Structure 1
Amino acid sequence: MRVADDRPRTGERAGTAGTTGPLALLGVLLLALNLRAAIAALAPLLPDVRADLHLGSGAAGLLTTLPVLCFGLLSPFAALLGRRVGVESALLAAMLAIVAGSVLRTAPGFWWMIAGTVVIGAGITVGNVLVPSAVKQDFPARQGTVTAFTTAALTGGAAVAAAVAAPLAHTGLGWRGALLLVGVPAAVAAVAWLPRVRRRHVVPVVAVRGASVLRSPVTWALAVFMGMQSLTYYALLAWLPTIVRDAGVSAAGAGWALGLFNLLGISTAVAAPALAARLRRQRGFGVLVAATWGAGLLGLLVAPSLYLLWATVTGLAQGAGIGLALALLVLRAGTPQRARDLSGTVQSVGYLVGSTGPLLVGVLRDRSGGWGLPLGALCVAAVAMAVAAVGAGRDRTV
């Protein structure tokens, strides 16, 4: 393949590439800490929000679905923003959007809640897309390790926000005060990131002439892998408690299952990027993740009484799946600019597909009257994930 000098476009500014100091790392980690927290905090407060705003199930479901739809619909525009104004400035804008959205959610009325949720979703989308580019740019020799750290910050921020939201609300702050406080770390991240915006950067760019990320089969393999991972994750996140309750498990047992599913994913989400960076090819690793998903889904289908075991298996699989997907966005990209564009394309497809998971499973459950068909469909998604992993895990850059 021929390579050519690809001079920085508007917003791709000159300076020193590969800045790997502790302040750079702190800035990236603070960004990642806010990429799920404002969303995760809403779930435990949803009963209070519904009661206060007089919302039905559909409107409440819209509040939880909107951020994922933003991820899918706005990811290409997030990549464009990074191209136009620079990664550093775009990431600062992302944090400010999360702060603004958190403030909007405290205003009275359902539509302010919707507006705030959309603004938060847009800000998080920019962070989702451009943090891999920042990692590629600032930590070229430690991509896997830093991706593991950012994944840990992302999942840890979500876990902490979900854990403290309800207690904060019950201290007298109410759900609005709790949601506002959860947005404060984004303001801290914006202040910490501001010196990165002021500092001029040089990013040496080498690009493949005449090729775009859309024309690369690696891009579409990554998109399918992330799409199937997202679909199975969001579907099980929404329906796992109902699946085990229908099998005769108590509400407390269903809560334990969902807790295991979420908490155990943190460890593998952190470990997967570091492991992927040590491998020349990640095909076998990706197939193993998909096979683990399939084993857990089949277990829920044939032996639901062992629900804690299957919650453990699928929890480990979902963490490894998202960790591997985020790592591959960095590893498969030849330059920080390619990482930006690849991330925008793959996350757009992945999250759009993922947002259909809960609806798909619900429709199949209603049509069939049982969980065999929906769990079987998720097993098919796991097979598609494995096939995509073969292409996404090849030792080839976009």
Structure 2
Amino acid sequence: MARSQSHVGDHPARTGPTGRPAGPLTLLGIVLLALNLRAAIAGLAPLLPDVRLDLGLGGATAGLLTTLPVLCFGLLSPAAALLGGRIGVERALLVAMLGIVVGSLVRTAPGIWSMITGTVLIGAGITVGNVLVPSVVKQDFPQRQGSVTALTTAALTGGAALAAAVTAPLAHGGWGWRGALLVVGAPAAVAAALWLPQLRRRHVAPTLARNVTALLRSPVTWALAAFMGMQSLTYYAMLAWLPTLLRDEGVSAADAGWALALFNLLGIATAVLAPALATRLRDQRGLGLLVCATWAVCLLGLLGVPSLYLLWATMGGLAQGAGIGLALALLVLRARTPESARDLSGTVQSVGYLLGATGPLLVGLLRDGSGGWVLPLGALCVAVVVMAVAALTAGRDRQV
């Protein structure tokens, strides 16, 4: 059944508290922020073999480098929501971009601890963006939630695709892995500069916006957390290990990087389509199950016929874009107000990303322990089944 047009129409955004309309400049700023919310993580994945060789890392430690940002998403999401309430979402988002810039600089310094410290700073910055962007969308574009969420999700996946595509060629073309990582961190500085005009539109959500106990008791909250958690676990595991899997199968480093770029790039289309479609449906359960089925095809294909890796990267790309797009859309659709969107986003992303953080580490441990990819890919298939079960509750037309 279609939703009312009042939920999905392309009406102008409402006027902000300062009297300035949330217009094209605000929209551009949000999109540029979103462009940086995965790039610094995706850019590392094609370079993991080089980083491991240079720093002498084992598989589990290398997986930890990709797990750390996701772990930050889980541990710091409540703090990110509080930061937005205390200093305003605009100032908090500026801090987020500056954190990514500083982290990108620190992680290219010599030594494993510089890499770890920089990665944590990047993860903290991305966490603030993850939590507060849905609140900005709900607040500044209440009549264009679907289309604006689609744009930000497309920017997020597009930034990841671009970073995955350029880091290996840059690193092997004379820049080295450190220079390549600096390149993918630079756009955050541009986003920070272009976000500065938004500081005049300071929005501070009330600290006591809703009954947190009721939020935690809602089955919708936990279903959303499980859906996002299993989506994140599968996505970040693939983001971290797909190039290594392919290189184990004899694929060159450059071709493995391009396969990862394809995995991210193809998600842009479904990242745009899924939120737009979700806002026009009263019930999103069927859409969630379709996402899970597409993930299953990708994983089973890599397990059974890895030589067709471009086909499976295509299926995985379509699945991951739709999965994150649907998850972010549900955070907006299931919330009654911008304040509840902030709290729901913080809670769901905290639990969901804590679950998701186990993906890269789990795959690294299973790969090292078994010496192959059957157990790691089998574990990801189990995660997809859990994701499908969660979709049956998260996709129902209920708000919290």
TM-score, with structure 2 as normaliser:
0.84
Specify the alignment match of 2:116 in structure 1: 114
User: Is the CA contact (8 Å cut-off) linking 1:75 and 1:125 kept in structure 2?
Assistant: yes
216-225 or 164-173, which deviates more: 164-173
User: Is the CA contact (8 Å cut-off) linking 1:261 and 1:315 kept in structure 2?
Assistant: yes
Cα distance, 1:351 vs structure 2: 1.6
- Provide the secondary structure at the position in 1 that maps to 2:298: helix
Larger Rg computed on CA atoms: 1
- Provide the secondary structure at the position in 2 that maps to 1:334: coil
186-195 or 316-325, which deviates more: 186-195
User: Is the CA contact (8 Å cut-off) linking 2:155 and 2:268 kept in structure 1?
Assistant: no
Count of residues in correspondence between the two structures: 383
**1:335 aligned to which of 327, 334, 337:** 337
**1:381 aligned to which of 374, 380, 383:** 383
User: Is the CA contact (8 Å cut-off) linking 2:67 and 2:361 kept in structure 1?
Assistant: no
Amino acid at match of 2:251: A
Specify the alignment match of 1:182 in structure 2: 184
The answer for unaligned runs of 5 or more in structure 2 is 1-15
Specify the alignment match of 1:355 in structure 2: 357
State how far apart, in whole Å, the 2-side matches of 1:283 and 1:375 are. Answer: 25
State how far apart, in whole Å, the 2-side matches of 1:339 and 1:58 are. Answer: 35
Change over 3 Å in CA distance of 1:19–1:201 after alignment to 2? farther
Quick one: percent identity of the two aligned structures? Answer: 77
User: Is the CA contact (8 Å cut-off) linking 1:105 and 1:112 kept in structure 2?
Assistant: yes
State how far apart, in whole Å, the 2-side matches of 1:209 and 1:369 are. Answer: 49
State how far apart, in whole Å, the 2-side matches of 1:162 and 1:362 are. Answer: 20
Specify the alignment match of 1:11 in structure 2: none
230-239 or 132-141, which deviates more: 230-239
- Provide the secondary structure at the position in 2 that maps to 1:15: coil
State how far apart, in whole Å, the 2-side matches of 1:368 and 1:102 are. Answer: 33
**2:263 aligned to which of 261, 278, 284:** 261
Deviations 1:123-172 (A, max 9, x none): 01111111111111111111111111111111111222233334444665
Change over 3 Å in CA distance of 1:16–1:396 after alignment to 2? farther
81-90 or 157-166, which deviates more: 157-166
Matches within 5 A, 1:40-51: 40-51=42-53
Deviations 1:372-395 (A, max 9, x none): 555444333222212211211122
Matches within 5 A, 1:256-295: 258-295=260-297
State how far apart, in whole Å, the 2-side matches of 1:17 and 1:143 are. Answer: 20
User: Is the CA contact (8 Å cut-off) linking 1:205 and 1:335 kept in structure 2?
Assistant: no
Specify the alignment match of 1:251 in structure 2: 251
Deviations 1:232-259 (A, max 9, x none): 223344455666778xx54258667545
**2:107 aligned to which of 105, 108, 127:** 105
Cα distance, 1:34 vs structure 2: 1.1
138-147 or 282-291, which deviates more: 282-291
User: Is the CA contact (8 Å cut-off) linking 1:91 and 1:130 kept in structure 2?
Assistant: yes
57-66 or 108-117, which deviates more: 57-66
- Provide the secondary structure at the position in 2 that maps to 1:141: coil
Cα distance, 1:328 vs structure 2: 0.9
- Provide the secondary structure at the position in 1 that maps to 2:266: helix
Cα distance, 1:91 vs structure 2: 0.7
- Provide the secondary structure at the position in 2 that maps to 1:251: coil
The answer for unaligned runs of 5 or more in structure 1 is 1-13
User: Is the CA contact (8 Å cut-off) linking 1:18 and 1:138 kept in structure 2?
Assistant: no
Cα distance, 1:313 vs structure 2: 2.4
State how far apart, in whole Å, the 2-side matches of 1:204 and 1:18 are. Answer: 21
Cα distance, 1:221 vs structure 2: 0.7
Change over 3 Å in CA distance of 1:328–1:155 after alignment to 2? same
Amino acid at match of 1:265: G
